[in-house]
Amino acid sequence: MDYFPLFCQLKGRACLLVGAGDVAERKARLLLDAGAALTVVALDFTDAFERWAESGQLQKIEGEFAASQLDDKWLVIAATDSDTLNMQVSEAAEARRIFCNLVDAPEQASFIMPSIIDRSPLMIAVSSGGNAPVLARLMRERLEATLPLHLGRLAELAGSLRQRVKQHYSDGMTRRRWWEKLFNHQRLAQSLANNDIPQSEAFIEQLFAQPIEEQGEVVLVGAGPGDASLLTLKALQQMQLADVVVYDRLVSDEVLNLVRRDAERIFVGKQAGNHCVPQEQINQILVEQAQRGKRVVRLKGGDPFIFGRGGEELEVLAEAGIGFSVVPGITAASGCSAYSGIPLTHRDHAQSLRLITGHAKKDSSLDWPCLAQGKQTLVFYMGLSQAGEIQHQLTHHGLAVDTPVALIENGTTPAQKVVTGELSQLSELATQVKSPSLIIVGGVVALREKLNWFSSAEANPQPLAL
């Protein structure tokens, strides 16, 4: 360990900043945010320093640095454009055993300033020991993007509950499980994010009232169309928190690899004409796992509420009194069309978009006359086996036989395959692809030849994994 990580309490403590340029301005903001009693010494000051001094936020000393200015200081930062002066400050601080930071010279500093993620009172610091500050900044940005803004309020809430939890639960293991439930409670997190205090308090009372082992819940998570980089941040967070993951065949291996390693995985894959696990049994699995106190993630390809039977599963959970929440995902229509260079709407070709299931319940039928209207885009999910019927019904009800169509197999994945043609060829084109495939019908498909290069993998390279 090159540096000992330490969080300092500077509120009301005297600190010195030598220099008042742009770099020093950034350091001053951090010290002021920490509540330091800040003194700044410099020959010239930026406008920000002048404003801070006028408002009484810091004390200005206009002139040369003198070692005596370090008296009674807790720490000092040398942020001038003179290496010689910075070293003088460092040596004077060292002689007085005062921690000193030198900008752009970490090897000569007695402390370094990390990249900070501020979710006060939760603080996260990232440092490369001064070796690669840009890398530390990139890592901070990655972490910043994945951490919800409400974490600070959650930490404050936890602080206010510590004594009550200690009195309510006698042993440490039970307390630990209760805290895990609190921090992983998706609906509580949402209420905090919405600043809904009554709802937050209701969830807390519910946590105290129920036995720990009975507080399971289910989160329906949209896994997107295949490419793991299309997962939402919230989806990834839930996958990392899951005790149990129930998933189907539309969830790609790339996505599944991001699930918490020690989570139990239950495969309930379905394939057209071959339902290895009936829907009723899937519903029962979700209920039983939640009743055991597990945090269950129901991972569904695309979006749970777009032909994913998410609504049906939630109905069962609601009837069983199981808590649930939903994380939307990028649906196949959006992802597959974007990766194929096909805009779903376009002022010259389509003013409306219809998402259609290729196999509705047996006692229902589609409104084919309405679907056969022009100036719209039709996207058929799970319609590959019904391609001939789709072609017949649309042409029979007046849609032009030369209407462009596209079939997209394994959309957004490295194995993506796109076949295009006209509506009169749909049944024949369907023999050239395999399930899972999406069918797009409409004038927008004609734009693929012009736009496909811009949606190719070469034009959208993946970022370097850090």
Q: Got the DSSP string for 216-274?
A: -EEEEEE-BSS-GGGS-HHHHHHHHH-SEEEE-TTS-HHHHTTS-TTSEEEE--EETTE
* pLDDT tops 90 at residue 170: no
Is residue 461 annotated as involved in ligand binding? no
Give residue-wise pLDDT tens across range 203-251. Answer: 999 889 887 766 688 999 999 999 999 999 889 989 988 889 999 989 9
Given this model, what pLDDT does residue 119 score? Answer: 87
Average pLDDT score, the chain: 89
Q: Does 269 belong to an annotated binding site?
A: no
In this prediction, residue 456 carries a pLDDT of 45
Task: Give the model confidence (pLDDT) of 251-288 as tens digits.
Answer: 999 999 999 888 999 999 865 555 578 999 999 999 99
Annotated binding-site residue? 341? no
Residue that wins the pLDDT comparison between 114 and 370: 370
pLDDT of residue 178: 87
Beta bridge partners of 354: 378
Confidence bin at 455 (pLDDT 50/70/90) = very low
pLDDT at 458: 38
78: phi then psi, degrees, rounded to nearest 5? -100, 110
What local confidence, expressed as pLDDT, does residue 214 receive? 62
1-47 pLDDT per residue, tens: 777 888 889 999 999 999 999 999 999 999 999 999 999 999 999 99
What's 107's DSSP letter?
Answer: G
Q: Are 182 and 205 in contact (CB under 8 A)?
A: no
Count of helices and strands (H, E) across the chain: 17, 19
User: What is the SS3 assignment for 115?
Assistant: strand
Closest CA to 342 of 218, 450, 191, 181: 450
Is 47 a residue of the active site? Answer: no
Catalytic residue among 73, 227, 243, 248: 248
360 appears as a binding residue in the annotation: no
Phi, psi of 270 (to 5 degrees): -125, 150
Nearby residues of 35 by Cβ (< 8 Å), 6 or more positions away: 10, 11, 12
Query: Would the annotation count 1 as a binding residue?
Result: no
238 class by beta-carbon count within 10 Å (0-12 exposed, 13-18 middle, 19+ buried): buried
Let me know if 270 is a catalytic residue.
Answer: yes
Q: Sort residue 224 into left (φ over 0), alpha (ψ -120 to 50) or beta.
A: left
Task: Give the lowest-confidence range in 252-256, 352-356, 363-367, 384-388.
Answer: 363-367
Tokens 């206009």 locate to: 62
The H or E element spanning position 352 is: strand 352-357
Q: Which of 95-109, 122-136, 177-191, 374-388 has the highest mean pLDDT?
A: 374-388
Among 271, 287, 283, smallest CA distance to 312 is for 283
Under DSSP, is residue 175 helix (H, G, I), strand (E, B) or coil? helix
At residue 182 the predicted structure's pLDDT band, cuts being 50, 70 and 90, is confident
What domains, with CATH codes, occur in the chain? 14-113 (3.40.50.720), 148-211 (1.10.8.210), 216-330 (3.40.1010.10), 333-455 (3.30.950.10)
Measured distance CA(246)–CA(268) in Å, rounded: 7
Of 83, 196, 270, 417, catalytic: 270
Residue 339 confidence (pLDDT) = 93
Percent of the chain with pLDDT over 90: 63
Given this model, what pLDDT does residue 359 score?
A: 66
Q: Binding site annotation covers 411?
A: yes
Q: How many Å apart are CA 409 and CA 276, to the nearest integer?
A: 22
Question: In the predicted model, is pLDDT for residue 66 greater than 50?
Answer: yes
Q: Do residues 14 and 39 lie in contact, with contact meaning Cβ atoms separated by under 8 Å?
A: yes
So what's the pLDDT on residue 193? 83
Q: How far from 147 is each of 122, 143, 180, CA to CA, in Å?
A: 11, 6, 17
Q: Which residue has the tokens 């406008």?
A: 47
Per-residue pLDDT tens over the stretch 307-344: 989 999 999 999 999 989 999 999 999 999 999 999 99
Calculate Rg over the CA atoms of the chain. Answer: 30
pLDDT bucket at 303, cuts 50 / 70 / 90: very high
In the prediction, which pLDDT does 459 show?
Answer: 39
